[in-house]
Structure 1
Amino acid sequence: MKRLPWPAFAGVGVIALLALAAPVLGLGNPVTMDVAHRLAGPSAAHWLGQDEFGRDVLTRLVWGARVSLSVAFAASALACVIGTALGVLGGFLRGIVEMLTLRSIDVLLCFPPLLLALLVVTLAGPGATTLIPVLALVYLPGFTRVAYAGVLTARSQDYVEAMRVLGAGKGRIMLRTILPNIGGPVLVQFSLAAASAVVLESGLSFLGLGVVPPAPSWGLMIGAARATMVQAPLLLLWPCLALTLTILAMNALCDGLRDAVDPHPAYRTGRRRMLDLLAPGLLPQERAVLDLRGLTVAIDTPAGPIQPVRDVSLQLFPGETLALVGESGSGKSLTSLAVTGLLPGAARVAAGAAWLDGTDLVRLPEEKLRLLRGRTMAMIFQDPSSSLNPVHRVGHQIAEAIQAHRRMAPGEPVELLRRVGIPDPERRVRAFPHELSGGMRQRVMIAIAIANGPRLLIADEPTTALDVTIQAQVLDLLAEFKRQSRLSLLFITHSLPVVAEIADRVAVMYAGEIVEQGPMAEVFARPLHPYTAALLRSAPVEDGPPPEGIPGVVPPPHALPPGCTFAPRCPKRVPACEAAHPALVQVAPGRQTRCIRWDA
């Protein structure tokens, strides 16, 4: 458990305690006026002075905190309960419930929050009773989206399936299994909404559309002090200072809660804002372990640079297996090498970003990237014979991978070999690679990859050189490790039967770019791109029709056809396919395709 942000908790707690204790602090009535001493400065009786009606400024500040925080927290709590319920119901039940909940939220998202609040308050009239439902309506979409995204990740996990097998009803699964697993993001969203609601309430009160005078409110105090700022400038300072300190404390609490409940390290907010200015659109999705944004790889040639990988964007989430599929020459392996910083000398990342747990690998210095390889991320290469050093014993090579990042426990290489299912590990640990079979060598590579407990494991066609029986054993082994350690697996392959066995989602790559993405079952049942359909027809099916080859070859990066790169080989092509290069568009929740005739 990461450390909670106790200083931020203390700051917000002190402010909230003062607001709650306002009736018992002996401050008096915040609306009592003393016109004879209006605009008087600080004194022993009035520590912060008196306002334009002679009311005590300190009293109104404390009571104003009570009003502002109660409105903000009540609105955030209301939005949290309703939004989380809608997100959980839509994400778990899917179908018509998902459509109704998400489409209704999409309608709210069409309106800017401040304009929506102004419209409703203008129609319903100002006052705290109006502000609470208005602000709840403003923050409702955020809670719904956060809960919905969390449910989509959790609902496919084994522990949810186990509850179904045990006969638990949908309500119990949602309340007892799904909801606790999305509590962290929802809590962070609540803190963000509460901080924002304090600002929005003060702004509406400043405009005369929030709390009704003479009730105390920081927004009302700022608005009133503006008219007398020449005679008594301190009247403007105190409510602005109170509002600023409150928002700073609540924002610090938000950042701390995010770091505490997030399962992977968070990046600094200041660095994120700086990168947002320098590289808009390249920032990572909060929950993604691996997040590629517009990744483009260029190779310098005598005839000029070519781009074998172009504008690749995909996300890999905790505990998920994403299969990157395509023919040889599609750019799959080059993409993985770009992520790990192992591109050959002539190749370079020309554009885009590759985020690993909030760290941009593309812009990371080599010495820091080296610390991540083999620890936070690891890779299993296609040919273990060329990956293992033939002159060193396998135990020595496992120990080397461990000691590069931490101190090794006695007998750890033997335990790793036992963990990956190698018989007689005490003897095999002293063997040279050539003394092991192909399947055992691949298991040694897996042992090296998992030795330091990585969060991301990239497997580049690890079963290609193995027979069917050993291939199945290796796939079962990877699946078992994924269940045990919740690691995220990027599985690169051209074998669709392997994809059907191991993947949660599929990204299909052709000629250097992603042409389709989606959940494995949906992509296999209804491919949206002709290339995906051709790949499925080319795969052998037991007791099915013979496989069909795909005519033609993948075009080289220096000779890409105009328009759609698959058009010369596509049976569905029309003149429009060659006129312009299609974009990767989302055509359904979680489904993307780069085809203008996806519904033909």
Structure 2
Amino acid sequence: MRRLLWPGAVVAVIVLVAVLAPLLPLHDPVVQDVGNRLARWLPDSPLGRDEFGRDVLSRLIWGARASLTVAFVASLIAAVAGTALGLLGGWFRGLPEFLAIRGADVLLCFPPILLALLVVTLMGPGTGTLIFVLAILYLPGFIRVAYAEVLSARAQDYVEAVRALGAPTGRILLRTVLPNIAGPVLVQLSLAVAAAVVLESGLSFLGLGVVPPTPSWGQMIRGARATMEQAPTLLLWPCVTLTVTILAMNLLCDALRDALDPRGAAPPRRLLDRVLPGLLPPTAPALLEVRGLTVEIATPAGVIRPVEDLSFSVAAGRTLAIVGESGSGKSMAALAVMGLLPPAARVASGSVWFEGGELLRAPEPARRRLRGGAMAMVFQDPMSSLNPVYRIGAQVTEAIAAHRTPARDEAVSLLSRVGIADPARRARAWPHELSGGMRQRVMIAMAIANRPRLLIADEPTTALDVTVQAAILDLLADLRREGGMGMVLITHSLGVVAEVGDEVAVMYAAQIVERGSVAEVFSRPRHPYTSALLAAVPDGEREAEGIPGTVPRPDSWPPGCRFAPRCTHARAICDTPPPLEVVDGREIRCLRWREIAA
């Protein structure tokens, strides 16, 4: 919020002075005093007089009134019309979508300044024409921002809940969708106002904007150009005023954008995503951000890397599923994120950010405060993860006491929360007295005891029957929806991924080979390994197809593509290590994916 303070104050002062111009003790900005033309200073004119003897200070303030009026009115018209069209197109799709998006594309085909010159030339200069021109120019930006945000919002659970309640479409759009897209639209509005001030000044400088005698900054620069040698300050004052105004507005836009997007990273990308959605892979404010993570283990035969250059992000309320065969490095990556690597392993490179804080360089006491609190993990084997010599209730209470004072019977309440029948009696039981599904529920109860914002679940349904597996998945989905918890789900089961995942990362031999939304990856896999995993799952009458060979050991990775020895599409080019390519928001590590996917 501090970043909003001083640019916001500067913009507020400029707008306030422009609004109060008729009440301020100023000279009439159009009255000429030829006898004092080009005067540099007069007692009642601290900034001097212009080429016609008009007061420069008065014209600057009244010019701000004209320029800002044009910019704000045009931007507001574009914002209202563009947001409405984006709402309708993103919600109803079909014809409204075609008209809104294709209409915006047509307007974007014309260079802005040439379109403005054409319209002004045809309609004649004037404030009304200028407002119309600028509104048309900035309309496509608002349409695209609103359209992209509506597409994202309409898939959220809270929108589906309102629709399930039978609310009319108009109420859903105005009361549910519109407030949730207001942030990006507001940022776009601030950007449009700043750009409109510049364009208005440019057109007025060319004589195609505000019509004299109404003062504007562009007119002042145009008039001072002829006398810049005799009175250079006449050119200086409007240029400085215009520069300060635009700089303050741009800084306010940056601060406003960061206030509405807490990550505050990669501003050009966020703006481009909103104005031209689809040009770059979509991003969301990340709860967990892993970049370039590499884990090394020293062995007698040399250093091996069970995790190599791993990057992914998880947003609050979303689930990232990491799939792959045993030995791919999934669990080792999770342990590295939690700071629980065995002594022989170390993080060689990369970074892990949680809620804006860097974890790998944080001191161990700080990481210990996060583990089991804001970050929690459900381990793969509940039997080995539970202490066999302590009762269940004592172990759940211990998980709470590590971060805060547990309330009376809180352990029993947690066991009831995760669906364990007769929780008071089960709290007094030993781990070996519970079934595998109950032990897994106990692990989940311990993990959620302190209301974590991130849960890493490593094979939470391994070796469980279908009924218990479904109940645990429903429980995890409920926890995610109720508390906005982000989740990393490590699993072998593609069926589990399809049921609860939002995004999937396919790992093979320590690397991510494909990443994208679950729907896109499962419907149109681009990496041969992803296709092989999907083919290995029985589907109706189609028999499962096994993948030949096994995952190579970390000390004997193939020199090129690591999946090449098992891939039916491998060619000589696959001897070259493939980079991780980003296409349409999907990540693919394959040199031949275009040929294979086609």
* TM range, smaller chain: 0.7 to 0.9
Which residue of structure 1 lines up, in the alignment, with residue 307 of structure 2? 309
1:62 aligns with 2:57: no
State the Cα distance separating 1:230 from its structure 2 match.
7.8
Q: 1:466 offset after TM fit, Å? A: 3.0
Q: CA-to-partner distance for each residue in 1:251-287, whole Å, 9 max, x for gaps?
A: 565456446555xx445999x99xxxxxxxx999453
Could you tell which deviates more after superposition, 54-63 or 352-361? 352-361
**Residues in 2 aligned to 1:110 and 1:44: alpha-carbon distance in whole angstroms:** 52
Alpha-carbon distance in 2 for matches of 1:296, 1:101 = 46
Secondary structure of 1:596 counterpart:
helix
Q: Please tell me the residue identity of whatever aligns with 1:565.
A: R
User: What SS does the aligned partner of 2:506 have?
Assistant: strand
Give me the whole-angstrom Cα distance separating, in 2, the residues matched to 1:520 and 1:197: 41
- For residues 407 and 70 of structure 1, the distance between their equivalents in structure 2, rounded to whole angstroms, comes to 59
Once the 2 structures are TM-superposed, how far is the Cα of residue 495 of structure 1 from its aligned partner? 0.6
CA distance in 2, matches of 1:107, 1:291: 38
Residue-by-residue CA offset, 1:268-322 (whole Å, 9 max, x unaligned): 999x99xxxxxxxx99945333344454445555666554434444443332222
Q: Secondary structure at the match of 1:597?
A: helix
In 2, Cα distance between the equivalents of 1:142 and 1:334? 44
Match of residue 498, structure 1, among 485, 496, 499: 496
3-state secondary structure, aligned to 2:515: strand
- Paired AA for residue 72 in structure 1: A
Residue 447 of structure 2 corresponds to: 449
> Do the aligned partners of 2:119 and 2:133 also contact (CA within 8 Å) in 1?
no
**Residue of structure 1 in register with 2:583 after alignment:** 586
CA contact (8 A) 1:258 1:266 kept: no
1:479 matched to 2:449? The reply is: no
Contact kept, 8 Å, 1:188 with 1:254, in 2: the verdict is yes
Contact conserved, 2:578 with 2:589, CA < 8 A, in 1?
no
Q: Which residue of 2 aligns with 1:560?
A: 557
SS at 1:46 equivalent: coil
The more displaced of 215-224 and 554-563 is: 215-224
Amino acid at match of 1:555: P
Q: Which runs of 5+ in 1 are unaligned?
A: 274-281
Pair 1:597 & 2:595 matched: yes
Deviation at 1:493, TM superposition (A): 0.7
In the alignment, the residues of structure 2 paired with residue 194 and residue 296 of structure 1 have an alpha-carbon distance, to the nearest angstrom, of 45
Corresponding residue number in structure 1 for 2:326: 328
Aligned to 1:117: 112
Superimposed CA distance per residue, residues 62-95 of structure 1 (whole angstroms, 9 cap, x where no aligned partner):
2222233223323433443454345445544557
Q: TM-score, normalised by structure 1?
A: 0.80
Aligned partners of 1:336 and 1:458 also within 8 Å: yes
Structure 1 residues 294 and 186, CA gap change in structure 2 (3 angstroms): farther
Partner in structure 1 of residue 180 of structure 2: 181
Instruction: Check 1:469–1:363 CA distance in 2 against 1; reply closer, same or farther (3 A cut).
Output: same
Match of residue 76 from structure 2: 77
**What amino acid sits opposite 1:17 in the alignment?**
L
Amino acid in structure 1 at the alignment position of 2:184: P
Which 10-residue stretch deviates more, 12-21 or 199-208? 199-208
What residue is the counterpart of 1:569 in the other structure? Answer: 566
User: Which position in structure 2 is the counterpart of 1:277?
Assistant: none
* Pairs aligned (count): 582
8 Å contact from structure 1 (residues 319, 488) kept in 2: yes
Question: Which digits, 9 at most, give the CA deviation of each residue in 1:405-431, with x for residues without a partner?
Answer: 556555544433332223344454555
Match of 2:275 in 1: none
**1: CA distance between counterparts of 2:291 and 2:167?**
39
1:440 aligns with 2:438: yes
Alignment map for 1:280-295 (pairs within 5 Å): 285=283, 287-295=285-293
Q: Which amino acid aligns with 2:544?
A: P
Q: What is the alpha-carbon distance in structure 2 between the residues aligned to residue 137 and residue 591 of structure 1?
A: 37
Gaps of 5+ in 2: 271-279
- Would you say 1:34 and 2:33 are equivalent positions? yes
Q: Which SS does the other structure have where 1:459 is aligned?
A: strand
**Which of residues 548, 551, 554 in structure 1 aligns to 2:548?**
551
Q: Which structure's CA Rg is the greater one?
A: 2
Return closer, same or farther for 1:156/1:53 CA change in 2, 3 Å cut-off: same
- Cα gap change, 1:546/1:555 in structure 2, threshold over 3 Å: closer, same or farther? same
Q: C-alpha displacement at 1:478, in angstroms?
A: 0.5
d(CA) in 2 for partners of 1:340 and 1:327?
21
In 2, distance between residues paired with 1:412 and 1:3? 41
For 1:37-85, what per-residue CA distance to the aligned partner results, in whole angstroms no more than 9, with x for missing partners?
A: 2344555523444344432233222222223322332343344345434
Give, in angstroms, the shift of residue 134 of structure 1: 5.7
**Is the CA contact (8 Å cut-off) linking 1:475 and 1:502 kept in structure 2?**
yes
Quick check: 1:121–1:130 contact (8 Å CA) kept in 2?
no
**Structure 1 residues 132, 325: closer, same or farther in 2, change over 3 A?**
farther
Alpha-carbon distance, 1:550 to partner: 0.9
Which amino acid is 1:158 matched to?
A: D
Shift of 1:548: 2.4
Residues 392 and 431 in structure 2, CA contact (< 8 A), matched pair in contact too: yes
Change in 2 beyond 3 A, CA 1:495/1:63 = same
RMSD of aligned C-alpha atoms?
4.3
Q: Hey, what's the Cα distance between the residues in 1 that align with 2:436 and 2:371? A: 24
Moved more, 520-529 or 530-539: 520-529
Q: Does the CA contact (< 8 Å) of 1:117 and 1:134 recur in 2?
A: no
1:528 and 1:593 in contact (8 A); partners too = no
Aligned positions of 1:343-422 closer than 5 A: 343-345=341-343, 347-350=345-348, 352-362=350-360, 364=362, 366=364, 368-390=366-388, 394-395=392-393, 397-402=395-400, 405=403, 409=407, 411-422=409-420
Distance 1:87 1:293, change over 3 A: farther
Contact 2:322–2:490 (8 Å) recurs in 1: yes
Q: CA deviation at 1:505?
A: 2.9
Q: Distance in 2 between matches of 1:308 and 1:138?
A: 53
Shift of the alpha carbon at 1:477? 0.6
TM normalised by structure 2 equals 0.80
Contact 1:299–1:346 under 8 Å retained in 2: yes
Cα separation, 1, equivalents of 2:199 and 2:150 = 29
* Higher alpha-carbon deviation: 404-413 or 489-498: 404-413
Identical amino acids, percent of aligned pairs: 62
Match of 1:509 among 507, 512, 528: 507
Q: Does the aligned pair in 2 maintain the 1:84–1:143 contact within 8 Å?
A: yes
Distance 1:474 1:175 in 2: 36
Query: In structure 2, how many angstroms separate the alpha carbons of the residues matched to 1:387 and 1:468?
Result: 22
CA 255–118 in structure 1, closer or farther in 2 if over 3 Å, else same: closer
